[in-house]
Amino acid sequence: MNLAANLRAVRSRIDAAARAAGREPSSVALLAISKTWSAEDVRSLAALGQREFGENRAQELLDKSRHLEDVDLRWHFVGQLQRNKAAAVARLGAVVHSVDRESLVHVLDRTGQQAGRPVEVFVQVDLGGPAGELGARGGAAADDVPALADLVADASGLALRGLMAVAPRGADPVPAFERLADLAGRVRADHPEAVDLSAGMSGDLEAAIACGATVVRVGTALFGSRALPSGRPQESHR
């Protein structure tokens, strides 16, 4: 695994996609998804200048953060967050990309108020599966997103960053990202502070950037595919 070469290649892809969309490359942030990779792998990538890292399991995030307290990192949580783990993730100062229900808003809001520091959050949108079915990749239904964004924006313990979504697996991501961009525009009209759009992964970051993504979540293109015990490569969804 050549992390330096991988990081250069990913940043080059981001820069090229931004320019092709008429945007400044600096308008797109790279979030390195380090799930299943070790704390030392994170440390190695951080030594190359990467500071933003994301995890999709709360316990893995908490464990890695303890091993890397000496490194200047900003943690993000991108997986489905259980209420009983939400407070611990929030207390860490992690940005939560997967707010998808009212009960989670209340838990995170309470934690942010207790900490005296708002928890930065994204509302996750369910873009459906390849056949249009909901629930395949997580998130709130599009019709429910504006009200959920209102709830977040009104919570004193939270700061609304914007929307997050995962493109349908096995389908052209462009139509889904276009729907996401339209919804983000509607939310931003009511909440001008919600300027960010977390979308795009290793295989579709160019399409996401063309549709306005400001954060791309990249794992496989940086770290590679971790092998399962059987020797089969593990599929990465970030």
Task: Dump pLDDT digits (tens) for 3-29.
Answer: 999 999 999 999 999 999 999 999 999
CATH number at residue 31: 3.20.20.10
Nearest alpha carbon to residue 121 among 64, 76, 57: 76
Query: Cβ atoms within 10 A of the Cβ of 177, count?
Result: 24
Domain contains 31: yes
Task: Tell me what pLDDT residue 138 has.
Answer: 76
Residue 228 has pLDDT above 60, yes or no: no
Task: Tell me what pLDDT residue 132 has.
Answer: 55
Total domains, the chain: 1
Domain contains 234: no
| Residues 62 and 21: beta-carbon distance below 8 Å | no
Instruction: Report the distance separating Cα 165 and Cα 77, nearest Å.
Output: 13
Rounded to an integer, the average pLDDT of 29-34 is: 98
Domain with 211 in it: 3-223
Rounded to an integer, the average pLDDT of 127-134 is: 64
Q: What number of CA atoms fall less than 13 Å from residue 158's CA on the CB side?
A: 28
Task: Tell me what pLDDT residue 150 has.
Answer: 98
Model pLDDT for residues 34-74, shown as the tens digit of each residue: 999 999 999 999 999 999 999 999 999 999 999 999 999 99
Query: Cβ atoms within 10 A of the Cβ of 31, count?
Result: 24
Domain contains 238: no
For residue 213, CA distances in Å to 9, 138, 188, 194 come to 18, 18, 14, 12
Domain contains 97: yes
Per-residue confidence band for 230, with pLDDT thresholds at 50, 70 and 90? very low
Domain contains 96: yes
